[in-house]
Each structure stands twice: as C-alpha cells, then as structure tokens.
Amino acid sequence: MISIDGSNGGGQILRSALSFSSVSGKPLKLINIRKARPSPGLFPQHLAIVNAMKEICNAEAEGAKLYSEEFKFIPGKVMGGNFRFDIRTAGSTMLVLQAVMIPLLYEEKESQVVVRGGTETKWCPPSYDFKNVFLYFLEKFGVNVKFEIRRHGFYPKGGGEVALDIKPCKKLNNLELIDRGKLKKIYVFSIASGALNGVAERLVKGFLEIFKDIEVEIKYIDTLSPNCFIHCYAEFENTRIGFTCLGEKGVKAEQIGKNCAEGLKEEIESGACVDRFTADQLLIYLALAGGGQLLTSRITNHMRTNIEVIEKFLNVKFEIKNNLIICSVV
C-alpha cells in the first residue's frame, strides 16, 4: 500500500493519488488530508471525487466521509460506462472530470460522465479553460473526448452541468512542448448571467486596455446564482496559452477584464509554451505517456507536490531546469 501525506497540499494530492491508484491498481492510504488548510479534511467537492472514483473503479474507500483527514482506497477493476455524479454544492465539476477521465481512458469501451455542480469556481480550472486549452493539449496526447457545457453554475448555488464522452486510448503520445511558434490570434470569451445586463461588454472593455487586436465572443446565460467570467487564450503556431478571471464582489467588471488581459500578457512575455495552471494538469499525462517535456512560465509548489505523488506510483522521474519540466522513464 502506498502512503501519501497530504500535510503540505490541497485537493490536487487527493486527485492525483486516486487517479494513479486506479490506473496502477496499487492500494492507497492518504493521511493528513489538506492538513495545512484552515479547514482540513474532505469537503463535499473532495468527497464527491472519492465517491466517483470508488464507483468507476469498483473500489473500497475505508474511512472516506465528510471532513475525514485519513482514508484508505483499494481499487478494483475499472469499468467503463455511463456515470452521473452530483456534487450537491458549487464545487468544481472540472476537478471531478479530470480525476475520473484518467482511469476511463484505458477502458475498452466508450464512457460518458455527467457532473452537476459549479463550472466556474475560485481556485479551480474554469470550464472554458478546460474546453479551449486543457483539451487542446489532450488531443495532442492522442486523447479523444467530447465535452459539453450544458449549464453554467456559479457559487453559492451551483446548478451547473457538464458532460464528457471519453473514447478509449491505449497509448498516449510523447509531447515536446518547447517551441510555441508565432502568435496568430488572441481569442476572448466574455460570459455573464442574464441578470447582469451590460457586464459582459464591460469585461471586454477592460481587456481592451491591454490588448487591441482580439476576436471576441459575448454571451449571457441562465444561472441559479449571478456572476460572470472572462476567458482568453493566445493561439500560437504550436500551442495555446490561456487565462481566466472570475467576477468578484466589489470589483468592477472593467478591472476584472483588465486583470485577465494582464494575466495573459504575463504568461506570453514569460516565453512559455504552456501556462502554469495548465502545465500542472498536464504532468500526469507526461508521466502516463512515459516521457516528454514542457516549457512553462513558472514552477509552482503545486507542481512540485504533484510530481512527488506521481513519482510514488509510476517509474518516471521529473527534472526541472529553470521553467522547463522534463519527464523520463526510470
């Protein structure tokens, strides 16, 4: 049984450990879950991931309950099929999808996963980043999925719904994400709840303070809780770099839009091929592919923690040279 200490991290340790336990078949003991957080243990969104992985892997999850700081996960046989999960809060649907996608990729038949909850959640991958950036790279790895945002969900009521169709993928491609080529275009998506009349346009107005030559899509949507977000990505010849900002109470829409543009500008000026948020999510796929490398904008503690977990399960070794991450088979 592989033991993982979650003292120095958050939900990422949980998700990565569960994913690799399910793929490798190695039992897992997770202790001190989110110990350093103000409110440690398993929250509803974390427990939803545990329960989803338990169902998909026909696993046992001893001690996994709300606010638990320790549990054991004994994976069984992964079974593809149709699954539906409800977080019952505004917890991140994207994080559930990222976790369950990994074991289902290696199944013989196609699967569909539907998740209800939050689609744009603070400190979690937003739905448009998942759609336009993360899945762009997964396609390069050879992953074939179809993603649908059926309804957006914001904090506190959630109520969003997403669906992911996953086709089997027996072997991932090795990727060398070190040359991004020339910048082709910047795409901007400004989304707001229908009750927030004019807010989507104001988000774009703020973005235009930093970038002028952009392609814009503005949309108003029906949500249980009102909010907004602005998502952008820079399309290069060989890669995409994305950034998203969620609306915040007390912060003007124009400032949110400007913050998003400044975030993208920082990523572009770093010379990165993969933005730091996406790079963190791709480490698992580099390892599963058996090697590869990517150039990101910044090495975060989140990445280092993720690497430690991955190396416990698979015979791979990560090397970091400045902002270049290299993965190779041991």
Q: Low-confidence residues of the chain, pLDDT below 50?
A: none
CATH hierarchy code of domain 80-169 = 3.65.10.20
Portions of the chain given CATH number 3.30.110 = 1-77
Contact 154, 118 (CB under 8 A): yes
pLDDT score for 303: 93
Domain with CATH 3.65.10.20 in the chain: 80-169
Token pair 């280092």 is at which residue? 304
The correct answer on CATH 3.90.1170.50 for the domain covering 179-269 is: no
Residue 188 CA, chain-centre distance (Å), reads 19
Closest by Cα among 182, 180, 203 to 255: 203
CA distance 90 to 120: 9
Confidence at residue 170, expressed as pLDDT on a 0 to 100 scale = 82
**Residue 39: CB atoms within 10 Å:** 7
**Collapsed DSSP state (helix, strand, coil) of residue 9:** coil
DSSP state of 237: S
CA distances (Å), origin 182, targets 188, 239, 298: 18, 9, 21
Q: Respond yes or no: is residue 231 known to be catalytic.
A: no
| pLDDT recorded at residue 283 | 95
Start-end ranges of CATH 3.30.360.20 in the chain? Answer: 179-269
Q: Please give the Cα distance from 54 to 24 (Å, whole number).
A: 15
> What does the angle CA 159 – CA 52 – CA 48 come to, to the nearest 5 degrees?
50
Neighbours of 63 (CB within 10 A): 13
Q: What is the pLDDT of residues 273-316, one digit of tens each?
A: 999 999 999 999 999 999 999 999 999 988 998 999 999 999 99
R_g (Cα) of the chain, nearest Å: 19
HEC profile of 170-225: CCCCCEEECCCCCEEEEEEEEEEECCCCCHHHHHHHHHCCCCCCCEEEEEEECCCC
Residue whose C-alpha is closest to residue 101's, from 144, 149, 159, 43? 144
DSSP H or E segment with residue 50: helix 44-56
Cα–Cα distance for residue pair 329/9, rounded to 1 Å? 25
Give φ, ψ of 11 to 5 degrees.
-65, -20
Query: Rounded to an integer, what distance in angstroms lies between the CA atom of residue 119 and that of residue 131?
Result: 11
Question: In whole angstroms, what is the distance from residue 40 CA to residue 10 CA?
Answer: 9
Q: Which residue among 46, 152, 231, 302 is the active-site one?
A: 302
Residues forming a β-bridge with 73: 28, 61
Task: Report the Cα–Cα distance between both ends of the chain, in Å, rounded.
Answer: 21
Instruction: Mention the CATH class of domain 1-77.
Output: alpha beta
Q: Specify the pLDDT at position 300.
A: 93
Between CA 64 and CA 72 the distance in angstroms is 8
Look up residue 296 and give its amino acid: T
Distance CA 160, CA 147 (A): 14
**Residue 263: count of CB within 10 angstroms of its CB:** 18
